[in-house]
Amino acid sequence: MSITVVVGASSGIGRAAAIRAAEGGSGVILTYSSNEAGALETVAHIQGLGVEAVALRLDLGDSVSIRGFRAAVEQALTQTWGAQSFTGLVNNAGFGGGTMFADTTEEQLDRFYRVLFKGPYLLTQELLPLLADGGAIVNTASNSAATLGLSEGFSAYGSMKGAVVVLTRYLAKELSRRGIRANSVSPGPTRTPFAGGAFETMPELTADLESRTALGRLGEPDDIGPVIAFLLSDAGRWITGQDIEVTGGFNL
């Protein structure tokens, strides 16, 4: 039985990944922080496919919330599927935004750290005993951690996403003894709620990003979701320790 935990699936890339995993037959436990309505919409969509789904609240920036989350997942597994383990974990939750290096405050830096790196690190530790041998982990990183073509203002965000890429390689190394694969995906500019409507209100920004993308448009969540679902599936069984850029050729 395939069951996937998707962290941050009330909208955007997480929702797309959850739906694509469900289309492949996987049950889904999805999390949300504040957007309960969006999470329930994702659940309803998945259930409309004839697949079971459960939404659980999780504050990825709160280590106390993370440490108590295993019990909630265990309960969902038992009550919904009669299972004791899940097969896939997608660490996707986060937030966007940029500030020039000289203007980034300690508070901003700490928040990026807590949500984008410390949160996925601790959550993966917390849920690891429930992840079945032979399972898979996919972490959402970002092309803001790339070595070329950087945009100013993302030193904190990009640094944490770069740490996620490194963490992924260590997970692939250390968890290989259990047959668990770990990969990351690095989207480019993508039309998600993280952008806060900037693509719609700033057409000049959209035009610039599209001109820097080989395939000539912004990414959409469903450009990324299928790649995550593929890496979780048996079709990706021989891929581990990799960061897959999913950008449409941004800065190619």
- The domain ranges of the chain are 3-242
β-sheet bridge partners, residue 28: 4, 53
pLDDT of residue 98: 82
Render pLDDT for 117-156 as a digit per residue (tens, 0 to 9). Answer: 999 999 999 999 999 999 999 999 999 888 877 788 889 9
Any idea which fold 3-242 has? Rossmann fold (3.40.50)
pTM: 0.95
pLDDT of residue 196: 58
β-sheet bridge partners, residue 141: none
Other beta carbons within 10 Å of 243: 20
Residue stretches of the chain with pLDDT short of 50 = none
Question: What backbone torsions phi and psi does residue 139 show, to the nearest 5 degrees?
Answer: -105, 135
CB within 8 A of 28, min separation 6: which ones? 3, 4, 5, 6, 9, 18, 21, 22, 46, 51, 52, 53, 54
Contact 130, 83 (CB under 8 A): no
User: Annotated catalytic sites, by residue?
Assistant: 157
